[in-house]
């Protein structure tokens, strides 16, 4: 399994963009980069995933470095509801998700 490094915590003001970094220097060529988040008292929920190109969906954008050794999850306008622990997970095929400790995002009103 590829090892990931994420900041323990980050803070953002409401309605400002947030950039959550993740280093995954040992990622394999077949690993997609998945992001999940876990809101308080809930199970994790899928946010976004990508392989090489930058990806956008209704929740967030994912920017992947050209060498694929790092990626950044971008929340364009943070809301109070975005306060959660965010996990970056390299994953190949149907292999189990391997969670690290993630980044705890706090959003200030």
Q: Which residues bind another protein (CB under 8 A)?
A: 32, 34, 41-46, 49, 85, 87, 91, 93-102
Q: Which is nearer to another protein, 82 or 86 (CB)?
A: 86
3-state SS assignment for residue 88 = strand
CB of 89 to another protein, least distance (A): 9
Rank residues 14 and 97 by Cβ distance to another protein and give the closer one.
Answer: 97
3-state DSSP call for residue 80? helix
Do residues 38 and 44 make contact, with C-beta atoms less than 8 angstroms apart? yes
8 A C-beta contact, residue 23 and residue 73: no
User: At closest approach, how far in Å is the CB of 87 from another protein?
Assistant: 6
In the complex with another protein, which residue's Cβ is closer, 102 or 107? 102
3-state secondary structure of 101: coil
Smallest gap from residue 84 Cβ to another protein (A): 13
Nearest to 84 by CA among 15, 17, 20, 3: 20
């Amino acid at each position: 399994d590829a090892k990931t490094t994420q900041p323990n915590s980050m803070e953002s003001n409401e309605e400002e963009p947030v950039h959550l970094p993740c280093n995954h220097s040992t990622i394999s060529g077949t690993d997609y980069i998945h992001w999940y988040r876990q809101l308080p008292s809930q199970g994790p929920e899928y946010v976004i995933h990508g392989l090489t190109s930058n990806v956008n969906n209704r929740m967030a954008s994912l920017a992947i470095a050209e060498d694929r050794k790092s990626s950044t999850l971008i929340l364009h306008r943070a809301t109070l509801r975005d306060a959660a622990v965010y996990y970056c997970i390299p994953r190949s095929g149907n292999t189990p998700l391997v969670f690290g400790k993630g980044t705890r995002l706090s959003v200030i009103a």
